[in-house]
Amino acid sequence: MQFRISDRKVRKEFKDQKLKPTFDYINFEERKIHYAKIGNDSLPTLFFIHGSPGDWSAFLDYFKDSILLEKANMVALDRTGYGKSDFGNYEKVLKEQARFYKGVLEKFQDSTKQKPILVSHSYGGSVVLQMAMDYPDMISGVVILAGLSSAELTVPRWYNGAAKSIFVRWWLPTALTVSNKEMLHLQADLKAIENDFDKIRVPIMVLHGKKDKIVPYEHATFMEEKLKGKVPFELTTLPEANHFIPWTHQETVRNMLLKMLEETKP
């Protein structure tokens, strides 16, 4: 219920894998951000950002994908307040999260001399949109899987409000408390950036399921309205898919990542 993977589980998952992930922290101002990394620094970097709640292991299966490992270096964060990134010490403001992760981008740009491709799921879609608006010169492309983008469509649910109660917070797992705090703030954050889509200057690929009941498909068409014709933009619709496409449609996601890697070659 804390949505973070144990070291023991990681060892078990990669026991039979030739390549195994390494782990480290980046200190950025007052934050300590944990990340997992696998692959060769000479290859382009896929930079994964998970949803709410979650941790880096949302993308663990991609770290084991032999086809991707031939083409890319991969990095996956624990977002602030999750996993091993100051667990419980959340940051509810989207713009501040983007600034923290800029510090991680800077480290990998220094070592690889390349601009990474941002890959996100769910709430992470909002994060990478903010990063693409604020730091367009630091990235080469963005892939959004079932991502949140529209303030109008992002309406806090009844349980978000209920979770503000001290009596409810008392028994909620820490990861769910963090998730609730950032979700309550997200509508205002998305409203604040709805006129900033013109700041995005990199290719965007979006994959979304028509039967997504957590993040409605209209979030994808909202992005299409905002971005199509202004930057290279591609929306792929999965008619029968729900919200969990990183796990249920891994091959489709992989093919999208390979396509973005090919299209963003220097």
Mean pLDDT of the chain, nearest integer: 89
DSSP 228: B
CA atoms of 17 and 31, how far apart (whole Å): 32
What is the per-residue pLDDT across 183-210, written as a single tens digit (0 to 9) for each?
888 999 999 999 999 999 999 999 999 9
Indicate the pTM of the whole model: 0.91
Domains and CATH numbers, the chain: 7-258 (3.40.50.1820)
Q: Which residues of the chain have a pLDDT value below 70?
A: 1-3, 110-112, 156-173
In this prediction, residue 173 carries a pLDDT of 67
Contacts 24+ apart (CB under 8 A), 166-173: 173/1, 173/2, 173/3
pLDDT digit string (tens) for 231-243?
A: 999 999 999 999 9
